[in-house]
Amino acid sequence: MDTTVALNFFWESFWIGRRVREHATPGDEALLHLFLIRRGRDPGFAAYAAGEAFVDDRAKDVFRTALADALTEDCRDLAGAGSGAYLWRRYLGLLDAGDVHGARLVETMLGTTAEDGYLAPPVAAGEEISRSFWEKQEKHAVMLGVRYPDLYFEAPYLRELPGTLISPADLEITAFAFETLKNLLGGTTPPGDAGTFERFINDAGAVLALLWFAGKSYDEEAAILNRTYPFTLGEETLDRFVAIFDDYETLLEEAAGLVKRGFVEEAETVYAYTVLHSGDPALHHTCYENLAVLFREEGEYGRAGDCAERALAIRKRAPDSDPYLVALGEKSLSESLYLQGHAMRAADLIARALAAADRLSPEKAASLLWAVASSFRRTDRFEEEYAVLTRILEEGCEGEAADAAMARLFSMDQYARADGSFDLAGLAAVEDRRRYLDFFGKGAALLQAFQFDRAIAFFERALAISRDVDLLRNIAIAHRLYGSVETAREYFGMVLAERPADVFSLIHLGLLTAGVEGERLIRQGIAAAVRDRMDLALVLYPLVRDAVAGDSIVDTIDRFGDLPAQDGVRALYYLGAATILADLGFSSEAETCYRKALKANPPSRVRGLVLRNMGVLAAGAGALKRAASLLDQARRYAPEDPTVWHRLAGVQAALGDAAGAAAAAREAARLLPARAGYGCERDLRAAKETAAPPSTDDPVAAELVAAGERLIEREECAHHALSAYAAALERIGGGEETPFAAESYAEALSERSRLFALFGRS
């Protein structure tokens, strides 16, 4: 049995139970979901929330109850059927019990996952409020009650964000969760170890923290979200992890993830702890080898050499030592020694590694040679690198190493001179660019994790390599988020000194500058954006964000809207501002700005965009007839815009106009055939026009058919749609199972028609 599956069942059970029993408002849901996003991005906040949750007996009692409810359904699914099977069974159970509202809540969770990896709080399927409306409400709640960092809005729902990292409170909660699960299962512990560190910590720790958070009032939740806490990783924390899981391998997996996300200090702590407390030489080798890499990156070549020496010694002492792995160890130590200035011993080691390639299989030889060549590249020994890469191709090796060698040789040939030498300065500049991008990427990852001081440190390391204007702007924004206003102004000033018309710097600096000078900078930025035909919805975001934080949104926007009407400039300004307002959930203010855009007498193309967005806003509010009218007007002004036809198809389908929806979907696919989603929509509308859903007197079967029609709208939910049709057939056919199979969306639509035809025979 997989313990993680059981905890995931709790997760889904909690959302279902909370929504069915309490009917949380969109604002409450917004804060709950934002709490999970914040907890996932900010390790210090996660540690604080977990610690507070663990001392809350009420939260632990709710956890026990919800987990028990999930397990009483059917423990067999814990063996690996997955949460989809569990949700489907709950869905059918709620229907049988006559709870259509509850069933529709579960329906929205079948195949629907939020962009950050958490299940979105469900909204009842078939009801007026859509998921897009919920997302806008989330942002609205943030703007009104939580002064969350700008980054959340500038890059919402970013994938691959750092998960909750190790904290003592998380580990206590995990131990409590496992003990609870064991008691519910009759005193036995499910087999299996940690699996992956992050899954267990998030599942066991976040659920209790979530229950604790959900029990607070709106004002208390907003106050909690505004807190920040320091994060540390110490020996006591790691002791608790090992006591619970007895699993050093998972610790090392997490350490590798920490490195990728920029948390190098925490990773080094994990490696050092494993060396001190684990008795496994293989784990020691991994730790020393990785520490050598990290220390080399930090310029601590002596420590890197010491770790590489230890790693190689462990590898040589291993029974039946693999020559390939020994050669890789020699390569690693050679690199560290070369950087320390011990060129002679470094040369001996690398020569032994190269000689070992002659005794290896072609595949391993190519891999080893590529590793040696990469070491030469990192240490700016490009002529030696070229010779090793050439050897890979001369020996007829195949696979990824050979492909990489070919690509690198092609790149290096651009720096070759007629006499056979290389432009070494040019190649060194390329390698510096690689290091620059590495530092920049780590800084960006840390910025997304709200580790502003560390992000700034990596950005500054990148700045030491290249004084790139875009990097200067990113450092300025990082300082603004960190609260270093004067430093932010200084960096924005550097950007503008080199690029006087940098739009984003002008607007950000204008918002940091009071009075007339601030307004002048903002106006200058808007004028430059208009001149360069930039997307004003992106450009105006900082301005609109500050406006909604105040009391007079439209008045603030109007202050900078005195632009010329020619070429639709003023209309584009209000269109951009309205788009941001709509995205943040300020529907009334967005409608006002859209109307101001129309009054500015825009050209046909811009008018079409405004009407399209107004139609989308109306559809999100459930005013389908008004949405259809607005989108039809947009179609007349912008007949070549596939997005207008796409939106129109969805609204017409919601109104029951199958033929009109099919025609609009076909036109969207014709105008943009490369967009796969438009093609699927065209096929779906054609299928619905050809085969209408059957009617039945059985209310549960009728609800299943209606659910299938909702689920089939999304390609990834097609299997669940077919399951719903088949379940309806089983009900009216006396319980006889109806098999179906579909490998693609087209096959699913074909199966839909076949299943519908069977209704007439039942």
- Looking at residue 584, what DSSP letter applies? T
* pLDDT bucket at 142, cuts 50 / 70 / 90: low
**587 in Cβ contact with 580 (< 8 Å):** no
Q: What is the mean pLDDT of the chain?
A: 85
Q: What secondary structure does DSSP assign to 644-676, as a single string?
A: HHHHHHHHHHHTT-HHHHHHHHHHHHHH-TT-H
Count the Cβ atoms, other than its own, within 10 Å of residue 244.
Answer: 17
In the block, which residue shows the tokens 């990427």? 441
Which H helix or E strand runs over 563? none
pLDDT, residue 73, reads 65
In the block, which residue shows the tokens 């002679």? 344
Tell me which of 151-160, 243-252, 736-745 is least confident: 151-160
Helices (H), 532-623: 536-539, 541-548, 553-559, 569-583, 587-599, 604-620
Q: At what angle do helices 541-548 and 503-512 cross, to 10 degrees?
A: 30
The helix/strand/coil state of 422 is strand
**242 in Cβ contact with 277 (< 8 Å):** yes
**Exposure class string for 218-237: b at 16+ Cβ within 10 A, else e:** eeebbebbeeeeebebeeeb
Q: Mean pLDDT, to the nearest integer, of 77-102?
A: 78
Count the Cβ atoms, other than its own, within 10 Å of residue 62.
Answer: 21
Q: Give me the residues paired with residue 416 across strands.
A: 422
* pLDDT bucket at 101, cuts 50 / 70 / 90: confident
* pLDDT bucket at 160, cuts 50 / 70 / 90: very low
Looking at this protein, which amino acid is placed at residue 731? R
CA torsion 394→400→406→410, rounded to 10°?
A: -160
* pLDDT bucket at 155, cuts 50 / 70 / 90: very low
Instruction: Inform me whether the pLDDT recorded for 395 exceeds 50.
Output: yes
| pLDDT > 90: percent of the chain | 43
Tell me which of 2-16, 68-82, 503-517, 603-617 is least confident: 68-82
**686 in Cβ contact with 672 (< 8 Å):** no
| pLDDT > 70: percent of the chain | 88
pLDDT, residue 151, reads 45
Cα–Cα distances in angstroms (integers) from residue 66 to residues 10, 111, 235, in the given order: 6, 22, 33
- Looking at residue 551, what DSSP letter applies? S
pLDDT, residue 332, reads 94
Q: Report the Cα 372 to chain-centroid distance in Å.
A: 35
pLDDT, residue 638, reads 93
**In the structure encoding, which two tokens stand for residue 291, read together?**
């520490």
**In the structure encoding, which two tokens stand for residue 29, read together?**
């849901």
Looking at this protein, which amino acid is placed at residue 193? D
- Tell me the CB-side half-sphere exposure of residue 589, using CA atoms within 13 A: 23
For residue range 190-216, what is the model confidence (pLDDT) as tens digits? 655 555 566 666 677 888 888 899 888
Q: Choose the most confident range, by mean pLDDT, from 77-81, 104-108, 112-116, 699-703.
A: 699-703
Q: Which residues contact 218 (CB under 8 A, 6 or more apart)?
A: 27, 28, 31, 145
What is the distance between the alpha carbons of residues 495 and 506, in angstroms, rounded to a whole number?
A: 9
Give me the phi and psi of 545, to 5 degrees please. -60, -45
pLDDT, residue 376, reads 92
Cα–Cα distances in angstroms (integers) from residue 175 to residues 4, 57, 69, 105, 246, in the given order: 13, 15, 20, 31, 12
Helices (H) and strands (E) in the chain, counts: 41, 0
Instruction: Inform me whether the pLDDT recorded for 505 exceeds 70.
Output: yes
* pLDDT bucket at 158, cuts 50 / 70 / 90: very low
For residue range 249-265, what is the model confidence (pLDDT) as tens digits? 878 887 887 887 778 88
What is the distance between the alpha carbons of residues 32 and 134, in angstroms, rounded to a whole number?
A: 12
Which H helix or E strand runs over 59? helix 57-73
pLDDT, residue 734, reads 77
Instruction: Inform me whether the pLDDT recorded for 161 exceeds 50.
Output: no
Q: Mean pLDDT, to the nearest integer, of 23-44?
A: 76
Cα–Cα distances in angstroms (integers) from residue 398 to residues 384, 387, 663, in the given order: 21, 18, 51
**346 in Cβ contact with 337 (< 8 Å):** yes
What is the distance between the alpha carbons of residues 346 and 385, in angstroms, rounded to a whole number?
A: 15
* More confident of the two residues 709 and 45: 709
Q: What is the CA radius of gyration of the chain?
A: 30
pTM: 0.78
pLDDT, residue 156, reads 33
What is the distance between the alpha carbons of residues 42 and 28, in angstroms, rounded to a whole number?
A: 21
What is the distance between the alpha carbons of residues 482 and 240, in angstroms, rounded to a whole number?
A: 33
**262 in Cβ contact with 454 (< 8 Å):** yes
Q: What secondary structure does DSSP assign to 432-451, as a single string?
A: HHHHHHHHHHHHHHHHHTT-
For residue range 512-561, what is the model confidence (pLDDT) as tens digits? 998 999 999 999 999 999 999 888 888 898 888 888 877 789 999 999 99
Q: What secondary structure does DSSP assign to 228-262, as a single string?
A: -------HHHHHHHHHHH--HHHHHHHHHHHHHTT
